[in-house]
Amino acid sequence: MQCRAVNRLPEGPDWEYELKFDGYRALAFKTDRRVWLMSRNGRDFAPLFPALVRALEKLPEDTIIDGEIVALNAAGRPSFNLLQNYQTAAQTIVFYAFDLLVLSGRNLTDTPLQERRELLQTRVMRRLREPIRFSETLNAPLDRVLEAVRSLGLEGVIAKHRRSSYEPGRRPGTWVKFRINPGQELVIGGYTVGGRTFDAILVGYYEGDRLMYAAKVRAGFVPALREALFKLFAALQVDTCPFANLPESHKGRWGEGLTAAEMAECRWLRPELVAQIEFVEWTEANHLRHARFVGLREDNNPKTCTAKSICLRLDRQVWRAKKIMITAIMIIVAVRSPIIAAPFNRNPLLHLSPSRF
């Protein structure tokens, strides 16, 4: 289940609000006394976050929860940059649980969100301790919620319909997100030379199979981060520019364009790295103004970085998300008795062949 990006959050008694965390989305589940922690594209997070896995050992058997892995800075605020660099610095890593998909073998995806979250609090969270936390509902009028989130410098707010079911991989509009600072996941296709590492990264988005240049990004880098990224770039060097819309005829009003003369100073990369970028706005030329690097998105496929809106995703992402949930369910089913497996057999997703994904 994913959120649709909106420019205005809905209001009314049918909606509830949560913080938008700046972390890695993950499914946590337990079966046969083993805990699994899986990203939304199927990556195994367990080796990266062993403390979370140990804390999740108190999960009820045959249970799946949805949540987000978050790094907290000294002020207790989420920091995606710290999450990416937690291995080289002592950081607080927590798992914020916000939904319950399966409880002790019972499939809850068709149960209204309000009931799922109540079960998550009363039947699951009471068994768990730090660093596993419940993503609390923000019980205040929307204007006060937005004011508080903005004043604290947090990423944004998520609104969820209280009666929504859980639809793996889809963006049905019953979960929506609003960013305080606009952001976009974009693909790194090159960089400009500067100093011992690089001056700026060159990022873009996909239109079909064509990678389209969007911006030069200079802000957001500290020396250690530049060096770490530059090491990753070394294995991705190519001779040909991957951007289909370059060169451009002029630099544009804000100097965001990339001309043939400037391209001579660029180095090109295979488009395999995804960056989270914050910015002020998209220009009429489909470029970003005042772009800032936030961090790498190792949990995302570059091909899903499409057009201007983060909610414009390829259909195969829906199937990927379904596959991940099915994988979790099938692992449970494979090691449990037919009695435990029975509730899952009512799920039509299980009748889809794995070769479809």
Length of the chain: 357
Omega into 60 within 30° of 0, i.e. cis? Answer: no
The closest alpha carbon to 313, from 300, 326, 304, belongs to 304
| C-alpha to C-alpha distance for 357 and 355, rounded to whole angstroms | 5
Tell the residue number behind the tokens 């960013």, with chain if given: 179
Q: Which tokens go with 293?
A: 């690097």
> Smallest Cα–Cα separation from 173: which of 190, 160, 188?
160
Query: Beta 281-282 vs 156-161: how paired, if at all?
Result: unpaired
Question: Is 20 annotated in the active site?
Answer: yes
Contact between residue 273 and residue 300 where contact means Cβ atoms under 8 Å apart: no
224, with CB counted inside 10 A (0-12, 13-18, 19+), is: exposed
* Residue 245 tokens, joined: 């819309």
What single DSSP character describes residue 121? Answer: I
Rounded Cα distance between 277 and 265, Å, is 22
Q: Which residues are catalytic?
A: 20
